[in-house]
Amino acid sequence: MGVELVLESVGFTYPGGQRAVDGVGMRLGAGVLGLLGPNGAGKSSLMRVLATLARASSGRVTWRGEDIARKPDALRAELGYLPQDFGVYDALSAREFLAFLAAVKGTPSRQVGERVAQCLEMVGLTDMADRRLGGFSGGMRQRVGIAQALLNDPRLLIVDEPTVGLDPEERVRFRHLLAELAADRLVILSTHIVSDIEASAGELAVMAGGQLRFHGTPEALIADAVGHVWSWTVPSERLAEVRAAHRISRAQRRSDGVEIRVVGEQLPSNDARAVAPDLEDAYLWRLHRTGLAA
C-alpha cells in the first residue's frame, strides 16, 4: 500500500470538556496538504492527534490501513514531526544535536554519522554543521528542526506553524524546501499564513471553530470566491470606518487614497469594481461564510 492517511470523523476534546476538533474527515496521499485556519481553529490539536501525541476522543485515523490509536508504532516509524514550539540545545552543534536525536530515535550507531550528514545537506546546513546552535538565526533553527524530522526518512512529515518569526527570505527558502520533500511523502503544513502554502500545496484544508470547512484544490477554493471580491479606493481618513464595516484582505496606499480588496456578499460601493480572487481572498471568503474571523 502506498502513502495513505485517512481521517474518519476525528474529534478531540480536552479533559475540561473543551471541544478542539469536531468530526474532521479526509483521505490523503503523497504531496503537500496546506492546513489553513485562524489561531484557535483546532489545527495544532489535530496535528498532535496525527502525530500520536494525543488520542482522538472520537472517530479514528488510519495510516496505510492501520488504526494509529491501536498500533501507533507503525506510524511513528515513518513519522517526522516539527512542532510549533521546537527547541534546541544551544551549547551543542547542529551535528551533535542531530546525532543525539538520531540515537534517541533508534538509528543504528554505525549509520548515525552518515544519516546526520545527509539531513544537514538536505536542509542546506552542511557548512554550519559544527557551529553551536546558540548562534543560529530563527530560519537556521527551523532548518535544524526539519533535519531532525527527516532523520528516519519519514513517509509522513508534519510541520506546525513553521515560519512564525522568520524573515521573508527565510520563509521563501523554507517553503521551497518543503515542496522538494513532498515528491514521495505526505507533507502536512499547518499554518494561518496563506503565502506559506500558496505555491507548494496541491491540496488545501481549511479549519475554523474545530471543524473542517473546506478540503480540495486551491483552484476550487478560489473558484468558490468568484463574484465576491472587489477593489475599492477610499480616502485614507475613511480606512478605519471601512475596515469596521467590511472584510478587507489587503490595503495599499496610493496617491489618491488607499486601494483595498473587499471580500463579502455584496458590492461595497458603487465606485468599487469586481476583481478576480486570489487564494488570500478565497480563504477569507470561506471564513466569512462560516461567520468566523481570520
Q: What is the pLDDT of residues 128-171, one digit of tens each?
A: 999 999 999 888 888 899 899 999 999 999 998 887 777 788 78
Domain co-membership, 145 together with 253: no
Average pLDDT over residues 235-239: 93
Report if residue 287 sits inside a domain.
no
Domain co-membership, 18 together with 134: no
**The pairing of beta strand 31-36 with beta strand 211-216:** unpaired
Domain co-membership, 16 together with 162: yes
CA distance 153 to 155: 7
178: CATH: 3.40.50.300
CA distance 168 to 125: 19
What is the pLDDT, as a whole number, of residue 161?
A: 82
Domain co-membership, 16 together with 73: yes
What is the pLDDT, as a whole number, of residue 105?
A: 86
> Which single residue is written with the C-alpha cell 469596521?
244
> Which single residue is written with the C-alpha cell 542531530?
98
What is the pLDDT, as a whole number, of residue 292?
A: 62
Report if residue 36 sits inside a domain.
yes
Domain co-membership, 70 together with 124: no
What is the pLDDT, as a whole number, of residue 35?
A: 96
Domain co-membership, 60 together with 11: yes
Structural domains counted in the chain: 3
Average pLDDT of the chain to the nearest whole number: 92
Report if residue 294 sits inside a domain.
no
Name the more confident of 262 and 2.
262
Closest CA to 46 of 127, 132, 161: 161
Q: What is the pLDDT of residues 86-131, one digit of tens each?
A: 888 999 999 999 999 999 888 899 999 999 999 999 888 999 999 9
Give the residue numbers spanning the domain of 235. Answer: 227-275
What is the model's pTM? Answer: 0.89
- With a cut of 90, say whether residue 219 has pLDDT above it: yes
Cα 42 → chain centroid: 12
Beta-bridge partners for 259: 233, 252
Report if residue 291 sits inside a domain.
no
Domain co-membership, 35 together with 146: no
